[in-house]
């Protein structure tokens, strides 16, 4: 007897969307089931970012259907169950803010009227520890490196203790040290049963975590199954990965984090 | 302190204090979402309200508040829907508001050029007891919103897209910021004038940024700077007989310059302190361990 498949957390069917006059999604089916880690891959302009942004309602669909946690999108209100990491190069705004202040914004979905309780502060602290930024909590985000900005954005999503984590290119412009920290943080989330949908340019250090890869080309799904070999091989053990972002000083830092 | 013996100066100082608190309190959110000049635009639109008030023989402050609120809502709508030429539409609104104010003022019997100057550049010593009631009510509203909803407003102004995915009522909060800014503009109108009101929303925040790392500290320091410059500016204008609005704004700019000059060496010192521990790490890696070892551990 086969076990029934877990409930779909994201169910996108026949989705079409256009930016201006240009059709970007041309009938995309994307199902992510509870506990799955799904990577959305594709070249620049393939529609992977648009697909993910349509799932969180930031790009309106011109056709097709979408439901989240079994609720039709129009009626979906349980945003506290979703953690979102937008594609950003910076976490900073026009006024200085500390790492903790930015991460605390991710807890708002779980607080009543914005009042922080003990549990909320603990969740924020835990999220900061997960991404290795607890010691920088009081620093201004303006003083951070690119990889640290990304860690802050991920901590902000984790602070809400989401059941579904959606990340748009979390590894873009991130140095190797931060990539490894983020991979470890994600591993812990996945172990706790969090469902993950992430847009990636290449699988990189996240490769072992990924259950399924969906590859888009010109707004259509061209592959839905195990992570493609050509990309996966890139991060296999023993693969001599000389990353262009890694400068000489970054190598020993990476060593320290993995022992 | 003979300055406190006059009822009109007591009112002037209280009004200055209130504006010093409220203007930076809402201004910080405008600066955070990089719309520092929005207060200026609302000020222009409010002038039409002042003119309309004179024409209809109503209280200029209340009519200006109503028109400024309407104008700020229109600006917010333009920001939502008019993505491509939003800046041009806003420019129309600014100059239309200005021209409308001058025109309406001219058409009314009570309005004159002297009155126009009062509203454009402020005339703090003419604040009447009735004006004070208005100022108290509006200021209480502004403070309740900017302090009470600070976490929500921070989230919306820091990253609007993220705030929407958090489930916050982003449009409502944006409207609330616009309306609160409009109310603040009309509260500050008598103190610094419509043309200089935006300065008190922006400059204390810009000055506070020079010495702070967190939003909370920036907020408190900006309000403290706002209070300091409005009180000293008003007092100075009493003793030296110079216009209060211009004095306040010039004091604020002076403080900004001083804090910037003080902050530069401070920032350098902090950067040096932050760089040192990282530099130390590279020396402590045990010899004989190389990066490829660890890649296999990770796999």
Residue B194: CB atoms within 10 A of its CB come to 32
Tell me whether residues A97 and B36 touch, CB distance under 8 A: no
Higher pLDDT, A189 or B265: A189
pLDDT at B298: 40
Q: Quick check: helix, strand or coil at residue A37?
A: strand
pLDDT, position B287 = 45
A94 part of a folded domain: yes
Mean pLDDT of chain A, nearest integer: 84
Give the up-direction half-sphere exposure of residue A248: CA atoms within 13 A in the CB hemisphere. Answer: 2
Q: Do B168 and A108 touch (CB under 8 A)?
A: yes
CA B283, CA B285: separation in Å to the nearest integer?
6
B152 to chain A, any CB pair closer than 8 A? The answer is yes
- With contacts defined as CB-CB under 8 Å, which chain B residues touch A86? 159, 161-162
pLDDT band of residue A229 (cuts 50, 70, 90) is low
Average pLDDT over residues A179-197: 90
Residue A42 pairs in a beta bridge with A216
Instruction: Give A76: exposed, middle or buried? Use CB within 10 Å, 0-12, 13-18, 19+.
Output: middle
The neighbouring-strand residues paired with A23 are A18
Contacts of A93 in chain B (CB under 8 A): 32-34, 157-159
Decide if B282 touches A, using CB distance below 8 A.
yes
- Would you say the ipTM is above 0.85? no
| Chain B residues with CB-CB distance to A114 below 8 A | 149-152
Nearest CA in chain A to B154: A105
Each residue's pLDDT tens digit, A17-59: 988 888 899 999 999 999 999 999 988 888 898 999 999 998 8
DSSP labels for B162-190?
Answer: HHHHTT--HHHHHHHHHHHHHHHHHHHHH
How buried is A19 (Cβ within 10 angstroms: 0-12 exposed, 13-18 middle, 19+ buried)?
exposed
Model pTM score: 0.84
Look at residue A2 and tell me if it is in a domain: no
Q: Is residue A155 part of a domain?
A: yes
B205 in contact with A, Cβ within 8 Å: yes
pLDDT tens digits along A50-86: 999 999 998 899 999 999 999 999 999 899 999 999 9
pLDDT at B77: 85
CA-nearest of B186, B140, B133, B187 to B19 is: B187
State the nearest Cα–Cα gap between B67 and chain A, in angstroms.
28
Q: Do B216 and A94 touch (CB under 8 A)?
A: no
Interatomic CA distance for residues A162 and A153, integer angstroms: 14
pLDDT (0 to 100) of residue A257: 36
Q: What are phi and psi of A114, to 5 degrees?
A: 75, 10
Tokens of A87: 């594609």
Instruction: Give the separation between CA B225 and CA B229, rounded to whole angstroms.
Output: 6
**Residue A22: in which H helix or E strand, if any?**
strand A22-33
- Domain range for A110: 8-258
Q: Is B263 touching A (CB cutoff 8 A)? A: no
Number of domains making up chain A: 1
* pLDDT for res B121: 84
Contacts of B212 in chain A (CB under 8 A): 96
Alpha carbons B100 and B42: distance in angstroms, whole number:
13
Answer yes or no: do A93 and B289 touch at CB < 8 A.
no
| pLDDT tens-digit series, residues B127-138 | 888 888 888 988
List of residues 6+ apart from A203 with CB closer than 8 A: A39, A41, A210, A213, A227, A231, A232, A234, A235
Interval A99-133: pLDDT, tens: 999 999 999 988 877 788 899 999 999 999 999 99
| CA A186/CA A119 separation, integer angstroms | 22
pLDDT at A235: 43
The architecture that CATH gives domain B2-196 is Orthogonal Bundle (1.10)
CA distances (Å), origin A18, targets A10, A15, B34, B82? 20, 10, 28, 18
List of chain B residues whose C-beta atoms are within 8 Å of the C-beta of residue A106: 162, 166
Tell me the shortest Cα–Cα distance from B143 to chain A, in angstroms. 16
Which residues on A lie below 8 Å from B146 (Cβ)? none
CATH code for position A215: 3.40.50.300
The reply to whether B66 touches chain A by the CB within 8 Å rule is: no
The pair of three-digit structure tokens given for residue B187, joined into one six-digit string: 């509260």
Residues of A in contact with B27 (CB under 8 A): none
Contact partners, residue B257, CB within 8 Å, separation at least 6: none
pLDDT in tens, chain B (299 residues): 678 888 888 998 999 999 999 999 999 999 998 888 888 889 999 999 988 988 888 878 889 999 999 999 988 888 787 665 667 777 888 899 999 998 988 888 776 666 788 888 888 877 888 888 888 988 999 999 999 999 999 999 999 999 999 989 999 999 999 999 999 998 888 788 888 889 999 999 999 999 999 999 999 999 999 999 999 999 998 899 888 889 999 999 999 999 999 888 877 776 676 655 544 444 444 444 444 444 444 43
Mean pLDDT of A139-167: 91
Suggest the residue from A10, A78, A94 to mutate for an interface test with chain B (most B CBs closer than 10 A). A94
- Predicted confidence (pLDDT) per residue in B240-298, tens digit: 988 888 999 999 999 999 999 988 887 777 667 665 554 444 444 444 444 444 444 44
How close B290 gets to chain A, by Cα (Å)? Answer: 8
Confidence of residue A238 (pLDDT cuts 50, 70, 90): very low
């Amino acid at each position: 007897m086969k076990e029934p498949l877990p409930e779909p957390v994201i169910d996108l069917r026949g989705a079409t969307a256009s930016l201006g006059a240009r059709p970007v999604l041309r009938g995309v089916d994307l199902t992510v089931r509870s506990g799955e880690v799904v990577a959305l891959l594709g070249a620049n302009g393939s529609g992977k970012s648009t697909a993910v942004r349509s799932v969180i309602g930031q790009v309106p669909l011109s056709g097709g259907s979408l439901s989240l946690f079994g609720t039709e999108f129009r009626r979906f209100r349980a945003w506290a169950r979703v953690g979102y990491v937008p594609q950003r190069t910076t976490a900073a705004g026009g006024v200085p803010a500390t790492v903790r202040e930015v991460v605390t914004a991710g807890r708002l979905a779980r607080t009543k009227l914005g009042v922080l309780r003990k549990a909320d502060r603990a969740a924020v602290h835990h999220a900061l520890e997960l991404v290795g930024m607890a010691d920088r909590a009081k620093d201004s985000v303006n003083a951070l490196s690119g990889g640290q900005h990304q860690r802050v954005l991920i901590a902000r999503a984790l602070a809400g203790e989401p059941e579904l984590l959606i990340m748009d290119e979390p590894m873009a412009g991130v140095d190797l040290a931060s990539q490894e920290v983020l991979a470890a943080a994600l591993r812990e989330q996945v172990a706790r049963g969090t469902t993950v949908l992430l847009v990636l340019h290449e699988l990189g250090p996240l490769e072992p975590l990924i259950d399924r890869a969906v590859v888009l080309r010109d707004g259509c799904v061209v592959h839905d199954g195990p992570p493609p070999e050509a990309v996966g091989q890139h991060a296999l053990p023993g693969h001599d990965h000389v990353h262009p972002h890694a400068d000489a000083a970054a190598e020993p830092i990476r060593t320290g984090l993995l022992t | 302190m003979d300055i406190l013996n006059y009822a009109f100066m007591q009112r002037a100082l209280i009004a200055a204090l209130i504006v010093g608190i409220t203007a930076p309190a809402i201004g910080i959110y405008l600066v955070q979402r990089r719309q520092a000049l929005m207060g200026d635009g609302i000020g222009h639109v409010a002038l039409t309200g002042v003119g309309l008030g004179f024409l209809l023989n109503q209280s200029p402050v209340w009519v200006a508040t109503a028109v400024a609120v309407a104008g700020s809502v229109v600006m917010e709508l333009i920001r939502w829907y008019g993505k491509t030429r939003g800046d041009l539409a806003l420019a129309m609104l600014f100059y239309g508001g200005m021209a409308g104010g001058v025109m309406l003022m001219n058409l009314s019997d009570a309005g004159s050029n002297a009155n126009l100057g009062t509203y454009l550049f402020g005339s703090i010593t003419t604040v009447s007891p009735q004006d004070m009631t208005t100022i108290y009510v509006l200021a209480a509203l502004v403070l309740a919103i900017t302090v009470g909803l600070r976490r929500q407003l921070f989230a919306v102004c820091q990253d609007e897209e993220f705030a929407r995915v958090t489930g916050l009522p982003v449009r409502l909060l944006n409207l609330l910021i616009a309306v609160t800014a409009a109310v603040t503009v009309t509260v500050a109108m008598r103190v610094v004038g419509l043309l200089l009101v935006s300065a008190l929303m922006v400059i204390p925040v810009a000055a506070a940024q020079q010495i702070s790392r967190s939003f909370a500290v920036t907020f408190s320091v900006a309000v403290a700077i706002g209070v300091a410059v409005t009180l000293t500016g008003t007092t100075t204008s009493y003793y030296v007989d110079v216009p209060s609005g211009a004095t306040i704004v010039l004091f604020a700019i002076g403080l900004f310059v001083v804090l910037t000059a003080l902050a530069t060496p401070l920032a350098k010192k902090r950067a040096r302190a932050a760089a040192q521990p990282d530099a130390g790490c590279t020396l402590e890696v045990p010899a004989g361990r190389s990066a490829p070892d660890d890649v296999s551990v990770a796999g």
